[in-house]
Structures are given as C-alpha cells and as structure tokens.
Amino acid sequence: MKNEDSQFVKIDIDVICDDMNNVKLSDGTIYVLNSDNGFVYEAQTAMKFWLMVLEGQDNGYIYDYKISVIHDTSAWLEHGILYEAIKDGVNIVLPISTPNTEKQQYIVAKANQETAGSCITNMIVKAEKLTKSAIEEALMNLAVQEPKTCKDIFRNVCGETLFDDDEPVKSIHCKIVGLPKEKSTVFSKAAYSTVPANISYKESKVIINRFVENCNLINESRNMNKFPIDFEEKLQKAKAEVNYVFDLFSPKVYSEFMLQFFNTKNLALAFDNCINREKIAQNSKIIVSIETPDPKLEKDKHKLKTNGMYRIYLQRGRKKVQVQFGRCASIVVYIMYLLDRKGRGNRIDTLKIVNNEQQFCNIYGRIYKDYNGAESRKAFNTCKTMFIDGKVKEARLKDYYLDIRTSLDSSVAELGESALPFYIPNENSHITVSKKNIIIPETFKNITINC
C-alpha cells in the first residue's frame, strides 16, 4: 500500500461486516471518512462539480456516482484489508465491482483538505478505466473460449445478414457510438494509428467480424518471447482493430453490461443482452402473432406436443414461420409476456409469472383444451419454487426461458434478423418487441397480466 498523500491503489477484500450482518459497499459511491467540516466541504464541492459534468455527457459514465460522508466506520467495518488501510490513514474510499474478480475492489486515497477534490477526480477516472478494462478483457477471453457465441453477439451489433439494407444497423451503431444520424457513415478514431480516422460503415462491419480472429492472435502473442517482423505488424493491426471495436461502445453499454452480468453471472448472456435490444426492436420488421393453426404451415411440420389450439407465428414480408417450442408451458409463458408488452408498451418493468396463476391457467386451458383446469394448475406449479414433502422443488422457469430462446433462435434466423428483442433473459427482464409488431386475437384481449 502506498503511503504518500493523494495516491490511490486497488485493494481486494473478502468480506465487510458490521455488527449485525455482512455488508457490501455500494459500487460508485464515494465514501468520505472524515469529520472535519472543511475536508467534507471540499469533497462535496468536488462531487457537485463532477455531477454537473456527468449531466452534460450524453454517453454518461459506467457508475452512478454519489457521495456519502461516514463519521464512524466502526458501525460497518471491523476487520480486513480495508479496515487496516483506514487505520493507516485512508479517508476516501470508492468501491467498484468488475467481471474479472468476485471480490469487490476499493480505490482508496489519503487526502487532506487541499487535495480532496483532485483525489475524487482521479478516483472517478480510475474507476472508469479499471472497470472498462476488465469488461474488455472479459470480452476478449470470451472470443477465445467461445468464438461462436462471441461471433453471434457481434453479428447482432454489426448487422451482418440481419437486415436487407444498412440503414437500421447504422442507427444502432450511431446509438452505440453516440453520433447523430447524419454522421452515420463515419466512426470515431481508434486508439492506434493503423486504423484510419474515417471508416465507412461497411469497413466497420469487416473489422467487427474480425474481432474473434484478432483476439486469438493477441492471445497467441502472450506466449511468445520474440515476434517475427511480419507477425509484429499483424499484432499491431489486430490490437488496433480490437480497440476500434471497444471505441464503438459508449459508457452506457458498459454500465448495462455490469447490471446484466451481476444479475446473470453469465458473461456471454450479459453481452448479448446489453447491446441495444430496444433499438434493434424498433428497427425490426418481424410481426409476432398468436393465431390458430395456419394450414399452409402444417403440411411439412412433424406433430409437436406443444401444438395446441393456438400457435406463435413470426412473419416478415411474405415469409412466415411457426415458433416450435419444446415445452407446453413455454408458449403459455411467452404469450403472457406478449400480452403484457402489448398492454403496457414501454411502461413495462418486470413480469412475475407467479403473480398470475389465473391468467396462466386461462391461457393454458384455451391452448390445450384443459376445461377442468387440472393440467393447467399442474403446469403453473412448475413455474414456482415449492416446498413438498420436506424438500424444496425449484421452479422450472429458467428451463422455459431457455426453451423460448432456443426456439426463437432458429425461427428468427429464418427471417434474417436478430432474435435479441424476443428473448426473456431472466425473471427480472422482459421482451423488447415493439407493441405495434404484436398481434393478439380477440380471445386473449380480455386477459390482463399483473406485473
């Protein structure tokens, strides 16, 4: 640990405890551990300045920075590395969490009244840099370990084969980069001079599609002591293109990734979910509908156990496909999300299936002719965690979400678009399909979903 004033370091700690229970400090909150009025005033003034700066940034910052003045740390901290650091004179603490470690990290500083403001400025810059670097490293590791998954994620970004023309995808890029639409053919300069300052949209797509290849080359170089000249040139170009891809992501994208990652603990899923599902949904031309069986699509389809009185169809132009779910409850769950999205539109938050037993059973009964409701109630019980005969029976909602995702992947792929807006990532998320692209038959319009 550095002892000079105004220095900051990264410290890992296992557990923070108060007198009652385990406590985790809030990421992005700057904790000022000083009771001196002058010191606190300087810290708060510096924070007010930064908040004004943050408000003026369209792309924002990764963390939602706040300040908290703590006069007595003994109420929430009594042992560990951070405890020892505070005893040694640390009086400003900024906690962050990143995907490269399960431990919370702490950017800390020893400051006096004159240096408090500059310390806070440096700590915010450091927090952004550390978190951004950790996320980028995680994405590069994903490219090496799961290349197909990584390619699929970036295909959703660059729009390769997803749209008939470039215009919708340019809009997505502009949203990520933070450029006005009229500048959609030019992108920001990358960190290395080997990538030109002005890159056409098509050239940008090529660079994004080389991301996995470039990450493999960079990973290979880490095990080499000496590079041939031609390899050195390839390596510099690979690093330049990888940094160019990272430059395309605004802090908002990184922030969204953090929320997704710590919610799912799934690296690939987090990246998949954070890439502008709403924007892709706005540009989608796919209509999703709940219909009785379409005879034209029945000819060559093998009989599925999930084929009931109503099916889910996706249509783009003249092409129409049936979503073939693997589980009977999956279509019921998905219809509930469609009804909720159609009813509440952009006002949606989350949807708790367990709060909608009557609605679930109603839909199930109509699809599978379960007139007495026995099968419907049995299916509904699989959606909630239950305590049966002294044992906990976990809900199967995760299985249904996975089935929905798998079924949609193949169906949407036939129509040449991204399936991201149609997914239900988890219980705390929702579909992002535009309500105007959802068609509900009369028989379901009287069903109101409870959020």
Point out which residues pair with 30 in neighbouring strands: 67
Q: Is the pLDDT higher at 109 or at 60?
A: 109
| Contact (CB, 8 A) for 128 and 119 | no
**63-77, 193-207, 386-400: range with lowest mean pLDDT:** 193-207
pLDDT at residue number 173: 45
Q: Which residue has the higher pLDDT, 20 or 212?
A: 212
Residue 252 has pLDDT above 70, yes or no: yes
The pLDDT of residue 334:
96
316-331 residue pLDDT tens: 998 999 999 999 999 9
* Between 116 and 21, the higher pLDDT residue: 116
43 vs 277 pLDDT, higher one: 43
Q: What is the per-residue DSSP string for 88-136?
A: TT--EEEEE--TT-SS-EEEEE---TTTHHHHHHHHHHHHHHHHHHHHH
pLDDT greater than 50 at residue 191: no
> How sure is the predictor about 299, in pLDDT bands with cuts at 50, 70 and 90?
low
Strand partners, 106: 11, 95
8-state DSSP, 160: T
**Does the pLDDT value for residue 38 go beyond 80?**
yes
* pLDDT reported for residue 3: 39
Query: Which whole number is the average pLDDT over 223-237?
Result: 82
More confident residue, 247 or 216: 216
Question: What's the pLDDT tens digit per position in 358-381?
Answer: 999 999 999 999 888 899 999 999
Which two three-digit tokens encode residue 359? 């609605």
| pLDDT at residue 163 is higher than 60 | no
Q: What pLDDT is stored for residue 311 in this prediction? A: 93
Examine the pLDDT at 186 and tell me if it is beyond 50.
no
Residue 387: its pLDDT value, please? 64
More confident residue, 13 or 172: 172
- How is 216-272 classified by DSSP, letter by letter? HHHHHHTT-SS--HHHHHHHHHHHHHHHHHHHTS-HHHHHHHHHHHHHH--HHHHHH
Structure tokens, 217 = 């080359």
Nearest to residue 151, comparing CAs of 256, 52, 268, 254? 268
Percent of the chain with pLDDT over 90: 20
Cβ atoms 429, 350 nearer than 8 A: yes
Question: Across the chain, what does the average pLDDT equal?
Answer: 77
Distance CA 119, CA 115 (A): 6
- Cα distances from 134 to residues 82, 296, 298, 450, in angstroms, run 21, 51, 49, 39
Q: Are 106 and 93 in contact (CB under 8 A)?
A: yes
Q: Mean pLDDT throughout 282-301?
A: 81
Tokens describing residue 270 = 């987090």
Q: For residue 222, give every residue at least 6 positions away whose Cβ sits within 8 Å of its Cβ, in sequence order, or none.
A: none
Of the ranges 6-10, 91-95, 189-193, the best mean pLDDT one: 91-95
Please state, for a pLDDT cut of 70, what percent of the chain lies above it. 77
Q: Amino acid identity of 138?
A: A
Say what the pLDDT of residue 152 is. 75
Is residue 355 scored above 70 in pLDDT?
A: yes
pLDDT of residue 389: 64
Tell me the average pLDDT across 130-141. 91
pLDDT score of 188: 38
Taking residues 115-143, report their average pLDDT.
Answer: 88
Closest to 131 in 3D by CA, of 66, 192, 191, 61: 61
pLDDT over 80 (residue 145): yes
Between the CA of residue 292 and those of 88, 196, 275, 404, what are the distances in Å? 71, 54, 34, 19
Segment 58-88, tens digit of pLDDT: 456 888 888 888 877 776 666 777 778 888 8
* pLDDT beyond 80 at 412: yes
pTM here is: 0.56
